[in-house]
Structure 1
Amino acid sequence: MLRSAVERYQYLPSVLALDTEVRGLLNAVGDPHRVAAVNARFEAIARASSVAAIYLLDRDGLTRSASNWNQALSFIGISYAYRPYFTEAVATGASRYFGVGNTTNRPGLFIGKAVPAPEGGIAGVVVVKVDLEGLQREWRQADEHVLVSDASGVVFLASEPSWKYRPLRPLAPSDTARILAARQYGDSDLRPLLAGDADGGTIKLAQGASAVSGIVERTVMPDLGWTLLYVAETDATLRYALLAALAAGISCLALALALAAAQERRQRLRSERAMRLTLERRVAERTADLSAANTRLRGEIAERERATAALRATQDELIHAGRLAALGQISMAINHEINQPLAALRTFLSSSSVFLERGDTATVRRNLKRMTEVTQRIGEIIRHLKVFARKTGPEHWEPVRLGVAAAAALDLLAARIRAESVQVSCAIPPDAMVRAEPVRLEQVILNLMVNALDAMRNTPERRLNLTAAREEASSWQLRVSDSGSGIPEEHMPHVFDPFFTTKAAGEGLGLGLSLSSLIVRDFGGSLAAGNGTHGAIFTLVLPAAEA
């Protein structure tokens, strides 16, 4: 513990001696800004490392900077050239010295490190003062008797305060003069602690009104020049021996009782062992049954996962087939929609060659512009078909505007809507945005529109209405209504059943609404059917994109 307390701070002066600000201050000791900076650094390091003080001496031993610069007993401006830790650091480059501070009158371990000058020699010395009082308090609280003496035999650390700064035996006159000249231990009178030989195996020390006597164990610390003495009281040892004898007697009695109980315990263990073997056999049988059941269960789970994957693949193929079927139903109208611009394109090409022969370049340019618009229209129609026909999946989910999806479906049905004179009303707010897959959402809206157009085929007035409104904070509601005859009540429970249809043979498979409901559920929404004042109403609810 003592060595750890000393070596914990051994590195600190060496690190500070390499600091550029410290060296800069020694090169310009009169610069107040450098002094203030080093003072602040020393203060912060002393607070963080819990050392008593950090200060910097110039080559003459005068303190130029200190961690206690703002305290009443500041070291700044005081010369410590006579202190051994300064003279030894100047002579050897490093020092370690325990003594009582002349300014604060508080003891501590002084660790010094020379700061080399750029031109050679010594520019100054960094000193770190370590307070070891806490170690002595720990000794006292643990009721231990410990003394630490220096090379001259003077005790400077002790568990008992009255033992400090006194030699174990009388000092030589030269040692006394040296200690007093350096004021190493303040005003101590250096009276010996022991009247006789202090190097024997036992020791007796005064402790207040009483005395401590016991066996002493010495440990020499040659690298520090210290000797640690640990005193084990003999009185306490006798008490411990008595307690040990009493404990031995109690142990013998306990052993006799234990031997009596051991026989009974052996009988009990034999019966318990037989019961345990029976239980282990039953557990092994049950474990084998559970293992077999677990194997069967894993096989069933694997089979169900394969079936689920196959069902999902079939479902995706069915949705894609439904989309292609919808394209087939509107292919004639789209064919007509493309043939019209193609015929116009042929007419523009024929007339342009005639105008070109006549030299009418203005008309030719006008025809070319119109042909560009026609080809753009054809390309837009084909783009809608390609996008609608491609396979998609959950990985393509993204925020989708309901208005854009509805407009794309209306584009695919534009020719049929014109041919059947259907009035279309689309009132979808621009901020109506849901979380879905664009193509599948268009497929759902297209299926609802196709069913509405089929329902109005034999009605004199044909109106198709699309409206959207915020249902609640986390969803949007899209309503598709028509002016047809509506859905009969007996058919209402079966509207979303696969292959249920009221159309004539060859006009549909009855999969449109079933697939639409399946797609909407995948999106986390719902699709419901009902009747309004005039015709049927399909209500589509989808999660809002921001939710």
Structure 2
Amino acid sequence: MHRITRHGAVLVTLGWGLAAFTLVVTLAAFGVTLDAGHEQVRRAARQRLVIDEAILRAAVERYQYLPGVLALDTEVRGLLDDPDAAAHVATVNAKFEAIETASGVAAIYLLDRSGLARSAGNWNQTLTYVGRSYAYRPYFTQALETGASRYFGVGTTTSRPGLFIGKAVPAREGGVAGVVVVKIDLENLQRDWRQAGENVLVSDAAGVVFLASDPAWKYRPFRPLAEADTARIHAARQYGDSALRPLLPEQDQGGTIELARDKGTLSGVVERVVMPDLGWTLWSITETEATLRQAVLAALAAGISCLAVALALAAARERRQRLRGEQAMRLTLERRVAERTSDLSTANARLHEEIAERERATVALRATQDELIHAGRLAALGQISMAINHEINQPLAALRTFLSSSSVFLERGDTATVGRNLKRMTEVTQRIAEIIRHLKVFARKTGPEHWEPVRLATAAAAALDLLAARIRAEAVQVTCTIPPEAAVKAEPIRLEQVILNLMVNALDAMRDAPERRLDLTATRDETSSWRLRVADSGSGIPEEHLAHLFDPFFTTKAAGEGLGLGLSLSSLIVRDFGGSLAAANGDADTEGAVFTLVLPAAET
């Protein structure tokens, strides 16, 4: 009886020990499996975040160049110079509308210095931006201050969210003339996340979610906002009339969180990646229900294995099933990574195609500019053709006189006089050949491949030679004080074309002047550049014309005397050389107009 009681006590002790051991093993198995499952989920979430971040950046940066290109557009800048000109407004409206259609951006519009929309791609729609003031919007004020801006918000006119990219338009006299704004629609990203079964959120610097796979999370901060942030967001109407209710009133964003959504509640682990250049944070929430189930199963399997060896095979089978499930999850993840990689490769290929197309357009534009410059050179030859005709007719008349007199002297047997006449005729023909050679060289088509060190004195002399007949006919006093060492890196014929255009303009300006003086001087400044000044004694340039002198087709001459392309082409040629061309009125001594040509110095 005593032995049975002792045996029972041993059994009870063993039972309690086995129960305690089973409990310890079960809890340990549960904790280890849960941690491992969470780590696996986090690793998969981080891999997905890398892909999601790349896709988000590609969507943002795809049109990053567009506002900068439009800010340099001459028609856009011309509209800001004269915002009430109906022709300018119509041209820019049509351009913005065409670019919107071709590129797929949500909106393009132009704000003046006060924030008033002067032109927009939706100019002909009911909810047009034209005529509305956006001075209170941060993308406008930031672009004025820093030159560029990037801002996500809900449109106050269309109530449609999007990313606003602003670029300041420089004024001709310095400063900022206005801001070009391009709006990008990112709503498609949310649809892709939902279709892929991902739980993704994007928040701004204040912690407000503005992109999310579940609509219930949009325009809500993770935690209650500070009063200053709430006031700033409401003042800018960044997220429309949203109440900015927090998603997690008392919880941190780290670890495991629980979020309400349209259907049920999402509970899972959080991973995030900060995008400091955009001021955004990309969040991924992965559900942990499956991981929790795996941890419970592992704990039960460990406990049961301690209680009965007979259940070991069942536990092993359960483990194999779990491993197969994990393998399936890995295969699914790898397939998704492969699909996203393929999408990125396709997007990259499209980007390369767009770059190639842009390069082809640049080459075509350059060819068009070269043709226009060549046409301008031929037009300049046309303007001085009468004088050149006179320059050639004089030697031809002298040649006929020498031929007629030589026949008389030859009949008389005066061979000495005939010899002298033949020598003079040779000199006359050489003069005619030199004039024709110079015309052929000036009319030749050239390009950047002919750049070389060019002496300013040589180029000026060549231009003066072409205008020599007109200068004599109009009794113009020419003063050329260009140092012989003055040399610049340029293309000789194009540089001669620029100087010729400036001289022709000066001669035209002095046509009715009582005293006609043309002064050419060159000095070297501290920036290793040569500064060539072409001054005349005409009546000068009216102040209202100074800002438009270098605009294409701007001219003050009578109809038939010019197309207004000379100074525009000259400015374009000088910019290609890396220099600048400016116009101003002279002082009391100079009286007329002064054109200043600045080009980088070249060693000869």
TM-score, normalised to structure 2, is 0.45
**Greater Rg, structure 1 or structure 2?**
1
